[in-house]
Structure 1
Amino acid sequence: MVDYKTVLIPDETELEIKKSRFINLVFHIETEAEAETILAEIRKKHYKATHVCWAYVLNTNPRRQKASDDGEPSGTAGKPMLEVIDHRELKDVLVVVIRYFGGIKLGSGGLIRAYGGGASDVLNHCTVIKKQFSDQLQVVVSYASYGGLSNGLLERDVIPVNEDFGENVTLSFQIPVAETKEFLAWVEDKTNGTAQIIRGEQAFVDVVEA
């Protein structure tokens, strides 16, 4: 499994270009069915819109992507939106640009700039996260070992997701898979081989991009 970038929560922006209103939306999705459900709701809400154009990319192997011009000239809406998503290397993302026509035609070049610009605008505004494929680890240590290990973790800037103080101290971590081997070797050295390691299932962890 490979780390990838996506959006955290839905977001919305709006642009006016030559009297046309462009409402730009972004959603995190994980299946085509989710995309279709969201699009159906948008079409119902914006039933008076002139066009509801969209593009999405899924984190599948092989990658699954789709786009729609929804009546705009071919290649002037869905494709530029898809190119914006690709340029930002985002996956599991649906971008929708809704147009309310204002009476002035934009031409093919103007439409490409408007729909690509709408996608860029909402992606600039939203929160992007990294889906980091990680090992779920528990490190069980004695109280005698805890102090030195805790200080070492501060120096490494590694923060446990949970600390449980019982008969022993159990520290829970989400460590990127590529870093697990080195991290466990460090824990073993720091605790003189006394730490007990419990491995959980590997999973994607959300990391907010700076």
Structure 2
Amino acid sequence: MNTIYQYTTLAAPAQAEFKDKGSRFLAFAWPVQSEAEIRQHVQTLREQHHKARHCCFSWRLGVDGNRYRANDDGEPAGSAGRPILGQIDSAAITDVLVVVIRYFGGTLLGVPRLIQAYKTATATAIATAEKIRLDVCQQLQLYCDYAHLSEAMRWCKQQQAQVLQQDLQQRCCLHVRIPLAQLENALAVLQQQRAIDVKLDN
């Protein structure tokens, strides 16, 4: 299995609109990092568009792509959530939520046209969104005596490691995040600096 070192997501939220026979399909796309964040976005849209007939959505989280969900919200099975998810996957992006709000126009569209409408609205929103490539990162903890703190900080700078939190006592702990592509070489450098201990977060 190949190791993934980078992934693509949205740099900022985006939205688009598609109309068919009086029905309006409003697509909203967000970069997201957790299911809690997803629930909040969906709930907010439901409240803002409480007169809409349907609030369908799909999301995918994680670089391995194993966490996802597709919701039809009352539309015929497979006519909304799956087409939305399909467009997320076609764009090869992750850590993304797309919600499509449908205001019913009074005319039934039938499943094929529904699928096309949800696909088009989603694809347009994703196409207008700015994309960004991000590093897959590993979090770890560095431990050292205060006297060797400057060595640990210098290692962080050299290895492009971001310091997330510092616990500066007589025995210091740095919580850092490092690009996965750098990890092997960075750990090899650390092994030569016996004054610094390292623990990888799961």
Q: How does 1:92-131 map to 2 (within 5 A)?
A: 92-131=95-134
What is the CA distance between 1:13 and its match in structure 2? 1.3
**Of 157, 164, 174, which residue of structure 2 is paired with 1:138?**
157
2:7 alignment counterpart: 4
Distance 1:85 1:6 in 2: 10
Q: 1:102 to 1:56 in 2, by over 3 A?
A: same
Distance 2:137 2:36 in 1: 27
What is the CA distance between 1:179 and its match in structure 2? 7.3
2:41 alignment counterpart: 38
Q: Which digits, 9 at most, give the CA deviation of each residue in 1:65-106, with x for residues without a partner? A: 001111110000000111111111111100011000111211
Distance 2:36 2:181 in 1: 32
1:155 alignment counterpart: none
Q: Secondary structure at the match of 2:94?
A: coil
Q: How does 1:14-29 map to 2 (within 5 A)?
A: 14-29=17-32
1:77 alignment counterpart: 80
What is the CA distance between 1:8 and its match in structure 2? 1.2
1:160 alignment counterpart: none
What is the CA distance between 1:138 and its match in structure 2? 3.2
2:50 alignment counterpart: 47
Q: 1:19 to 1:62 in 2, by over 3 A?
A: closer
Residues 129-138 or 106-115, more deviating: 129-138
TM-score calculated relative to the size of structure 1 = 0.64
Identical counterparts, % of pairs: 36
Distance 1:42 1:59 in 2: 23
2:145 alignment counterpart: none
Gaps of 5+ in 1: 140-174, 183-201, 203-210
Q: Which amino acid aligns with 1:125?
A: T
Q: Secondary structure at the match of 1:84?
A: helix
CA RMSD in angstroms comes to 3.4
Q: Secondary structure at the match of 1:80?
A: helix
Distance 2:64 2:137 in 1: 19
1:185 alignment counterpart: none
Q: Which amino acid aligns with 1:98?
A: I
Q: Is the 8 A contact 2:60 2:67 kept in 1?
A: yes
Q: Is the 8 A contact 2:79 2:111 kept in 1?
A: yes
Q: Which amino acid aligns with 1:138?
A: K
After superposing on structure 2, the runs of 4+ consecutive aligned residues of structure 1 that deviate more than 3 Å are 133-139, 175-182
Gaps of 5+ in 2: 139-154, 159-177, 186-199
2:68 alignment counterpart: 65
What is the CA distance between 1:134 and its match in structure 2? 6.6
Distance 2:62 2:53 in 1: 30
Q: Secondary structure at the match of 1:138?
A: helix
